[in-house]
A and B are shown apart, each in its own frame.
Chain A
């Protein structure tokens, strides 16, 4: 799939996200929109996971450590056929399996996540298992930038380098905002790339909305003894004009007019499941 097609699909999935959150009257709009180009590149071009291979021992492993951004993840999984698109209507409804964080009751989701700072440790285990069992799969963990204050991430960062897990990718959705404000005001991260480098990781920065650049990165990265860290500079609530780069949109729910404005800005007519 080429970059333009993936970018268009990412925008269609953004429409799914804002519709889902509007209908449920709940959700994490900002982070689900900022992560969608990354998720789309992974699922449309990088990961070998399909609805038919969810149990295959050699499937690539993906973990959404920033579990609150589950709406973006669900939009991608539904679009890829892991679950019926119509099921997105049940998001956050009583009794639904589509709740506000990933659970492995949903086909394609490896683990239950949502408590921040857990994903990279699990990813280290998955990647270490591949090394010890001599399996070819790779492991990808998507984290938030606010999440980086969790100490367990740095325990996992040490372990990833210690075991030379060059089959492991830590991807950070660096949209710069968390629920209370800028990451630099809440708990400063910078000089952020240097922190990861100091922990022994192969660090790259990229525009997290540049689909071609993301594809080039994932398809060219070679295993050279170090785990990989990709810092993706993104825009919180990307694609929703009234929400972009505003902390309030961490979990603000778009109203009907805002959904309409969002669809217009995304160049998307609507969704086929609502």
Chain B
């Protein structure tokens, strides 16, 4: 199976877009290596801004660049941008409606054994709570490329979270991406799985395993966390069981967002799968996923358990 790191899909697509439009800038915080912006820095130095290890300043500077008509993509570790510079994202970017795209790489538990300081498992909760900020989690490189076309053309501020390692391909090239409109990847009558980011692949794996046992589930890729596609969530609820999976704390993320919609409009049985509200198990991201059952078989087990009740 083809695998690809989403951050690399992002940076190579950004470089191509920036070659066509000198107003597209990349801003980073001593993270050109971890973002994979080395080629960009080398080929387009006039459109590249190094800020050093100063995330608050990077967001403010990007807002200033945007005020002057540039289209900055400010890129660095999701853990630092989403928390340390959350106020700059709230005020300088979202409140001021500056066209800044905040790109959080190595999101979730991508940094693995580097531990909690480097995990971004609160970012969906934080960024979703900022009015005027769109929030995206691409599932793979192909979707990232489709998303980038939108991000480059859009004038609205956005936060985009992607992981670090290579992830299996979910989409074909030229897959459709409509902001705010979730993608149905599979249809089934027994339950609906809703995932975002890397978890979309694991939801698809779960669906295959379940199908082998005669359980047919839908899979919905909720690539846009804000604004949320409520219509698709309500459609998922028609199965009678909704299971969400996310690489994020179970508080305030995808599961909470889906639960809010269902509680208000169509109370439905749910399972919220994600990282628990406790100090996390330490290991590589796949170790962490295995430990918490954020895998095809782990998700499938939860579905089976929920259907038995």
Cα–Cα, bound, A155→B54 (Å): 6
Interface size class of B (residues with CB under 8 A): 20 to 34
Smallest CB separation, A265 vs chain B (Å): 36
Residue in B57, B67, B69 whose CB lies within 8 Å of A110: B67
- Verify A121–B96 contact, CB threshold 8 A: no
Is the CB–CB distance between A114 and B91 below 8 Å?
A: yes
B121 at the binding interface (Cβ < 8 Å): no
Enumerate chain A residues within 8 angstroms of B68, measured Cβ to Cβ: 57, 61, 125-126, 129-130, 133, 135
Once bound together, how far apart are the Cα atoms of A159 and B51, in whole Å? 7
Given A111-B96, A112-B96, A158-B52: A128 touches B88 (CB 8 Å cut-off): no
A118 within 8 A of B: yes
For residue A122, CB closer than 8 A to chain B, the reply is yes
Q: Is the CB of A125 within 8 A of B96?
A: no
The interface residues of chain B lying within 8 Å CB-to-CB of A139 are 64
Whether, in the assembled complex, B115 has its beta carbon less than 8 Å from a beta carbon of chain A, the answer is no
Report the bound CA distance from A127 to B61 in whole Å.
Answer: 9
Choose among B64, B69, B70 the residue that contacts A121 (Cβ–Cβ < 8 A).
B64
Q: Does A148 contact B (CB under 8 A)?
A: no
Chain A stretch 85-135: residues in CB contact (< 8 A) with chain B:
103-104, 110-115, 117-118, 120-130, 132-133, 135
**CB-nearest residue of chain B to A151:** B56
Residues of B within 8 A of A130 (CB): 68
B87 interface residue per 8 A CB criterion:
yes
Q: Does A156 have its Cβ within 8 Å of any Cβ on chain B?
A: yes
Q: Report if A48 contacts B (CB, 8 A).
A: no
CB contact between A129 and one of B52, B70, B87 (< 8 Å): that residue: B70
Minimum C-beta distance from A259 to chain B (A) = 32
CB distance from B217 to the nearest CB of A (A): 45
Number of A-B residue pairs at CB separation under 8 A: 104
Known interface pairs A115-B87, A121-B88. Does A129 touch B64 (Cβ–Cβ under 8 Å)? yes
Q: Are A111 and B92 in contact (CB under 8 A)?
A: yes
Contact status A125-B64, CB under 8 Å: yes
Interchain CA distance A112-B90 in the complex, whole Å: 10
B206 adjacent to chain A (CB < 8 Å): no
**Interface flag for B46 (CB, 8 Å):** yes
Q: Which residues of A contact B64 (CB under 8 A)?
A: 121-129, 139
Q: How far is the CB of A242 from chain B (nearest CB, A)?
A: 34
B residues less than 8 Å from A124 (CB atoms): 57, 60-61, 64
Does B95 sit within 8 A of A, measured CB to CB?
yes
List the A residue with the shortest CB-CB distance to B59.
Answer: A121
A contact residues around B96 at 8 Å (CB): 104, 111-112
Complexed CA–CA distance, A128 and B47 (Å): 11
Please name all residues of chain B whose beta carbon is closer than 8 Å to the beta carbon of A118 when the two chains form the complex. 60, 87-88, 91-92
B146 within 8 A of A: no
- Does A212 sit within 8 A of B, measured CB to CB? no
Mark A residues whose CB is within 8 Å of B: 57, 61, 103-104, 110-115, 117-118, 120-130, 132-133, 135, 139, 151-152, 155-156, 158-159, 162
Which residues of B approach A to under 8 Å, CB–CB? Answer: 46-47, 49, 51-52, 54, 56-57, 59-70, 72, 87-88, 91-92, 95-98
Besides A125-B66, A129-B64, A152-B60, 10 more A-B contacts (Cβ < 8 Å) are: A114-B91, A118-B87, A118-B91, A120-B60, A121-B59, A121-B64, A125-B60, A125-B68, A128-B64, A129-B65
